[in-house]
């Protein structure tokens, strides 16, 4: 979940509540779709490692860095969890809007 994001913001925390135990996860990644990426079939995906706030409840986050929020529009993201046994879990796709100055 993200509130009031603006182009150029750095350090915006994007949280996802997976509502599943990820204690046995070997990898947690955020997949991003920027506004100009287009339809899902042609999207340019950006992948970042995620931090974990709560393994039992599956609360994960990503803090944006320079260049992440460089476009006005709707961003989409999804979390991919890979478990030690090779199983994988994808979260629901979430979206948030990034605004220009004074929006």
Tell me the CA distances in angstroms from 5 to 23, 40, 56, one per residue in order: 30, 23, 28
CATH of residue 71's domain is 2.60.40.1220
pLDDT-wise least confident of 16-25, 28-37, 65-74, 79-88: 28-37
Tell me the CA distances in angstroms from 32 to 6, 85, 96, one per residue in order: 16, 25, 11
- Tokens for 50? 């995620």
pLDDT band at 42 (very low <50, low <70, confident <90, very high): very low
Model confidence, pTM:
0.80
> Domain span at residue 37?
5-99
For 45-87, what is each residue's pLDDT tens digit? 566 778 888 989 999 988 888 988 999 999 988 999 999 999 9
CB 68, CB 86: distance < 8 Å: no
- The structural domain count of the chain equals 1
């Amino acid at each position: 979940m993200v509130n009031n994001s603006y182009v150029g913001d750095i350090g915006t925390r994007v949280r996802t509540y997976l509502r599943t135990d990820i204690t046995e996860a070997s990898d947690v990644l955020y997949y991003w779709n920027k506004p100009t990426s287009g339809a899902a079939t042609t999207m340019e995906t950006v992948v970042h490692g995620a931090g974990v706030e709560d393994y039992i409840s599956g609360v994960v986050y990503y803090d944006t860095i320079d260049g992440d929020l460089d476009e006005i529009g709707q961003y989409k993201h999804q979390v991919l969890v890979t478990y030690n046994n090779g199983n994988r879990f994808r979260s629901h796709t979430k979206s948030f809007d990034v605004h220009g100055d004074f929006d």
